Structure 1
Amino acid sequence: MTSIRHNPGPQRPHADAVLDAARACVLAVGVRRTTLTDVARRAGLSRMTIYRHWPDVRALVADLMTREWTAVTAGVRAEDPVEAVVAGVRALRAHPLWRKIVEVDPELLLPYLIDRRGASHEAMLATIEEMLAAGQASGRVRPGRTAPMARAVLLTAQSFLLSAPTMTDPAVSLGDLDAELTALLEGYVRP
């Protein structure tokens, strides 16, 4: 289990301003064309201030993705884990930063798909486990270890997030696929 090395927080002065500036830069030109100089200029800080906390754009963007994805998933928490996961997939799929990265810099996501988990994965797994445990306590989720269940749910949701757009055409919409994701998860987690 590997998390990203950089975690924005109170130990980083100006972290929100830097991440906001990075978000604006990535939305404007993509990750590959964003430089720490551009981010510093947009944040109104010196390049050295940024370099002290982030060695390169990829490290900065990793922290930005963590902030953005965890904010999205925190915003869609629901009592029912199936509804929450499907809503999270929809919300991430519609997120402007997600769309920009998928359209312009999809290779940035590859390490998180085949090599390691990132901090956002860890946060999502913790949230899903918590929802599954609450569902078990209320009888709405089947018994079992929540850790492997959460991973299976996240893997399923991740595939629908990343690949569902490739499976749409005039006969099958994203809404249709979201309904199938709901059916899959219902069949998996319900008693």
Structure 2
Amino acid sequence: MSRITAASNALLQGFELPEGDKTYVKILDAGLALFIEFGLRRTTMEDVANRAGIGRATAYRRFADKDQLIQVVILREAKRELDSIEHDLKAIDGGLNRLLESFVLAVTRAHAHPLWRRLLTSDSEMILPFFTQKIWQMMAFFRMYLADMLERVKKEEKLSDLSTEFMAELMLRLMQSMLLSPEGVMNPNDEAAVRKVAEECLRPLMKG
């Protein structure tokens, strides 16, 4: 099982993503568009149903409530971004280089994503409780993904004696901090600043 498959299973645990259900996809697409346009709080399930061109009852047959829809929309976007990062990492030589590049790409692309930008501007008070209480799957997803990458790097290069789980969680918490508090010298909007964190903080730690 690839790390993408294993991590995706962790990411989507508790959610059924029915294959071939075009209505389900239309609801997700409509939800994403409205969340970006109006924010989470101002968007209702009725708005989503109208944008998707379906009845309100049809939307509720697939999603119990708006919170569940929000979670699946965010998780689907995370999976899409990870697929894109995986593709770009193929051009990078060296396991540790790929790992650090994944950190840079994850931070800068998440920060630049239009949904995240909307959350920061109009739903900032919802971000921390939502991500700490309701998106635990995403944390398990990225922790598993990073730990697996670290295990692969260890087979290629000499790394620190710190456990892969510890280093993976450290990277994850650093990403979270940079995204939730973007102001300062480690601004996720500045790729050079993010690379400096990767090279001057993470690389020495990983090398031990």
Structure 1: runs of 5+ lacking an equivalent: none
Partner amino acid, structure 2, of 1:76: I
Please list the CA deviations of residues 5-28 of structure 1 after superposition, one character each: whole Å capped at 9, or x if unmatched.
852501793222111000111111
Specify which of 154, 162, 166 is matched with residue 136 of structure 1.
Answer: 154
Shift of 1:65: 0.6
- Matched position secondary structure for 2:159: coil
* Range 175-184 or range 85-94, more displaced: 175-184
Shift of 1:41: 1.0
Shift of 1:115: 4.1
Tell me the matched-pair count. 186
Specify which of 27, 31, 47 is matched with residue 22 of structure 1.
Answer: 31
1:150-161 matches, within 5 Å, as: 150-161=168-179
Maintained 8 Å contact 2:71/2:134: no
TM-score (norm 1): 0.85
CA RMSD, Structure 1 to Structure 2 (Å): 2.6
Specify which of 164, 167, 170 is matched with residue 149 of structure 1.
Answer: 167
1:1-191 matches, within 5 Å, as: 7-10=15-18, 13=21, 14-77=23-86, 78=89, 79=95, 80-115=98-133, 117-139=135-157, 141-164=159-182, 166-167=183-184, 174-182=190-198, 183-191=200-208
Shift of 1:94: 0.7
TM-score (norm 2): 0.78
Of structures 1 and 2, the one scoring higher in RCO (CA 8 A, sep 6+) is: 2
Structure 2: runs of 5+ lacking an equivalent: 1-9, 90-94
CA distance in 1, matches of 2:141, 2:132: 18
- Matched position secondary structure for 1:167: coil
Identity of aligned residues (%): 26
